[in-house]
């Protein structure tokens, strides 16, 4: 029962911090219609192809998600500083001028990669305009493709701030073909995006039957009027989701990215069908047992089984000036090869920049500039235990031993190192050489430019340090 309780709690967390966000956007920003019929056929020939752009994302790799149907030019001008942007699919209709080879984003950042957000598992009531990407999708849905409860009523997935509920789709039905085919025609074939970011990719749905104040009778995934056992619900759901993802890979042009979001702890369920997955709300479930070890293990496992080119994402949420939280999550991300985002709670709209995002390596000074992104350069090592150079984080995470969280982990890069202390105790770490802190502009108190040969790491913290002597200047400063 502990497990079941955990699942429910986990789900509540996920809903609170994750998917709910998009619905705030729905309420506050009405999709703008546009005259798509007058658009010239798009020619998507960016200066660099997708693999070249992904290959030009050195470390730290950064992504941003904007939950907005029609972001402003100011938002996009900012977001173009990130390596990878997750934008709502509606942006293709509402603001096509931002997208594609001649769009604002690639004009600012020729290495940017764009994913289009679409929910794989629910639709929004009131989103009925047949001039929007979601509206046209909904108008083509068969009633049999909605998830039903044992009374035959449409299953309600998520309550919106206005009290209405989203309606759940049944991915074991032909909607798993219709959705992929529709997105190919309405989104991918425009040539204005690099792939789809499917929200609500889940390992299980049985938790829905255990919600308090449940608006529905029990789920009936196979439409026989009878409630289904948890294992049956989850295995049928997983197969349906896998079919959707496989259909997407088969229908979309080769090389189109398919990324998922949803769930808190990943395993290898979606092996070979996703380019990666977003871990959302980093450590928000810690109080319920979903701590650093569990989420990092899932993140790494998912990364291992993802399709090339891999696009693994870690999103942490918090307040803009909680630099310690941001740095801990960023340093954790840098232990592997994923992309990092630190953003607000609620509807994701933040384009916050930090000292660790771009640094002029010749001076060690933080400077907000695309030119100085990727300053750490390529990794020189996997993440390893600072007390045992032969113990690697990846292998230790897979073993799942609790001691993983008690150690300090380090990864070396061409121009610096990253340390993370996931434990609850302060750690003194010998650096085996001289390193310097970044000279910060956002958090100059912590990033004070000092040269160090040892560092004291607070509990649950991380740090990015630069080589005190680097090839470009041959001098310390
Ligand atoms: Ca049934």
* pLDDT for res 2: 36
d(CA 239, ligand 1 centre) in Å: 16
d(CA 232, ligand 1 centre) in Å: 9
Q: What is the pLDDT of residues 36-84, one digit of tens each?
A: 444 444 455 668 999 999 999 989 999 999 999 999 999 999 999 999 9
Q: CA–CA distance from 89 to each of 69, 166, 179, 394, 400 (Å)?
A: 8, 18, 13, 34, 37
d(CA 221, ligand 1 centre) in Å: 5
d(CA 19, ligand 1 centre) in Å: 26
Structure tokens at 37: 């019929």
d(CA 147, ligand 1 centre) in Å: 11
pLDDT over threshold 60, residue 443: yes
d(CA 228, ligand 1 centre) in Å: 5
User: What gap in Å lies between CA 332 and CA 295, rounded to an integer?
Assistant: 11
Query: Percent of the chain beyond pLDDT 70?
Result: 88
Candidates 163, 161, 171; CA nearest to 215 is 163
* pLDDT for res 185: 98
Structure tokens at 101: 């080879």
User: What gap in Å lies between CA 271 and CA 277, rounded to an integer?
Assistant: 11
* pLDDT for res 470: 64
- Across the range 348-357, mean pLDDT stands at 97
* pLDDT for res 44: 55
* pLDDT for res 230: 98
pLDDT over threshold 90, residue 19: no
Q: What is the pLDDT of residues 271-302, one digit of tens each?
A: 999 999 999 999 998 888 889 999 999 999 99
d(CA 273, ligand 1 centre) in Å: 27
* pLDDT for res 463: 98
In 368-467, which residue ranges form alpha helices assigned H by DSSP? Answer: 393-399
Q: What is the DSSP string of 2-37?
A: HHHHHHHHHHHHHIIIIIHHHHHHHHH-PPPP--GG
User: What gap in Å lies between CA 333 and CA 61, rounded to an integer?
Assistant: 9
d(CA 183, ligand 1 centre) in Å: 29
pLDDT over threshold 60, residue 304: yes
What pLDDT band is residue 134 in, cutting at 50, 70 and 90?
Answer: very high
d(CA 149, ligand 1 centre) in Å: 8
| Contact by Cβ (8 Å): 406, 435 | no
d(CA 188, ligand 1 centre) in Å: 35
Q: What is the pLDDT of residues 107-127, one digit of tens each?
A: 999 999 999 999 999 999 767
pLDDT over threshold 70, residue 86: yes
Taking residue 272's Cβ as centre, other Cβ atoms within 10 Å add up to 12
Given the DSSP bridges, would you call strands 461-467 and 165-168 parallel, antiparallel or unpaired? unpaired
Q: What is the DSSP string of 147-204?
A: -BBTTSPBPEEEE-TTS-EEEEB-TTSTHHHHHHHHHHHHTGGGT--SEEEEE---S-
| Phi-psi group of 88: left, alpha or beta (phi > 0 → left; psi -120 to 50 → alpha; rest → beta) | beta
d(CA 120, ligand 1 centre) in Å: 21
Q: What is the pLDDT of residues 90-107, one digit of tens each?
A: 999 999 999 999 999 999
Strands (E), 214-292: 257-261, 276-279
* pLDDT for res 24: 36
d(CA 227, ligand 1 centre) in Å: 5
Domains defined for the chain, CATH in brackets: 2-352 (3.20.20), 384-467 (2.60.40.1180)
Strands (E), 206-363: 257-261, 276-279, 313-317, 339-343, 359-360
d(CA 156, ligand 1 centre) in Å: 17
d(CA 219, ligand 1 centre) in Å: 7
* pLDDT for res 45: 60
User: What gap in Å lies between CA 347 and CA 383, rounded to an integer?
Assistant: 33
* pLDDT for res 32: 37
- Across the range 183-212, mean pLDDT stands at 96
pLDDT over threshold 80, residue 152: yes
Q: CA–CA distance from 39 to each of 93, 96, 222 (Å)?
A: 10, 9, 43
Query: Percent of the chain beyond pLDDT 90?
Result: 83
What pLDDT band is residue 376 in, cutting at 50, 70 and 90?
Answer: very high
d(CA 263, ligand 1 centre) in Å: 24
Residue with tokens 């979001």: 261
Q: In this predicted model, which residue has the larger pLDDT, 161 or 259?
A: 259
Helix (H) and strand (E) counts for the chain? 12, 20
Strands (E), 6-133: 63-66, 84-88, 113-119, 122-123
State how far Cα 224 lies from the chain centre. 36
User: What gap in Å lies between CA 339 and CA 38, rounded to an integer?
Assistant: 36
pLDDT over threshold 80, residue 190: yes
Taking residue 432's Cβ as centre, other Cβ atoms within 10 Å add up to 12
41-55, 327-341, 378-392, 448-462 — which is least confidently predicted? 41-55
């Amino acid at each position: 029962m502990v497990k079941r309780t955990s699942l429910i709690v986990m789900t509540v967390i996920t809903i609170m911090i994750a998917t709910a966000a998009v619905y705030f956007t729905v309420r506050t920003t009405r999709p703008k219609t546009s005259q798509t019929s007058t658009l010239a056929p798009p020619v998507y020939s960016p200066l660099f192809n997708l693999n070249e752009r992904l290959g030009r994302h050195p470390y730290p790799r950064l992504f941003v998600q904007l939950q907005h149907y029609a972001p402003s030019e100011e938002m996009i001008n900012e977001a173009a500083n990130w390596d990878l942007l997750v934008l709502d699919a509606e942006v293709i209709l509402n603001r096509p001028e931002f997208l594609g080879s001649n769009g604002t984003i690639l004009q600012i950042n020729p290495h940017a990669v764009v994913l289009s957000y679409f929910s794989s598992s629910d639709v929004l009531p009131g989103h009925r305009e047949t001039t929007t990407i979601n509206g046209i999708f909904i108008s083509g849905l068969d009633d049999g493709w909605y998830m039903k409860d044992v009374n035959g009523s449409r299953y309600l997935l998520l309550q919106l701030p206005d009290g209405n509920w989203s309606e759940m789709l049944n991915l074991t039905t032909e909607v798993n073909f219709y959705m992929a085919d529709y997105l190919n025609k309405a989104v991918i074939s425009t040539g204005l995006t690099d792939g789809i970011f499917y929200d609500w990719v889940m390992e299980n749905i049985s938790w829905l039957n255990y919600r308090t104040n449940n608006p529905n009778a029990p789920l009936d995934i196979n439409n026989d009027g009878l409630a289904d056992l948890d294992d049956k619900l989850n295995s049928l759901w997983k197969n349906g989701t896998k079919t959707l993802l496989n259909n997407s890979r088969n229908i979309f042009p080769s090389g189109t990215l398919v990324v998922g979001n949803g769930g808190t702890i990943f395993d290898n369920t979606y092996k070979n069908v996703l380019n990666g997955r977003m871990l959302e709300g980093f450590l928000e479930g810690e109080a319920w047992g979903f701590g650093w070890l569990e989420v990092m293990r899932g993140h790494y496992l998912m990364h291992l089984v993802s399709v090339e080119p891999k696009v693994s994402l870690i999103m942490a949420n918090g307040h803009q000036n909680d630099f310690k939280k941001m740095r801990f999550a960023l340093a954790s991300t840098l232990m592997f090869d994923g992309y990092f985002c630190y953003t607000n709670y609620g509807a994701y709209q933040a384009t916050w920049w930090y000292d660790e995002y771009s640094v002029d390596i010749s001076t060690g000074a933080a400077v907000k500039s695309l030119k100085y992104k990727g300053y750490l350069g390529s990794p020189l090592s996997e993440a390893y235990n600072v007390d045992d150079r032969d113990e690697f984080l990846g292998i230790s995470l897979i073993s799942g031993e609790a001691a993983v969280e008690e150690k300090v982990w380090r990864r070396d890069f061409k121009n610096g190192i990253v340390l993370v202390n996931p434990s609850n105790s302060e750690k003194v770490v010998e650096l085996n050489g001289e390193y310097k802190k970044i000279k910060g502009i956002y958090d100059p108190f912590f990033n004070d430019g000092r040269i160090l040969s040892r560092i004291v790491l607070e509990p649950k913290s991380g740090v990015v340090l630069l080589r005190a002597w680097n090839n470009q200047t041959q001098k310390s400063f």
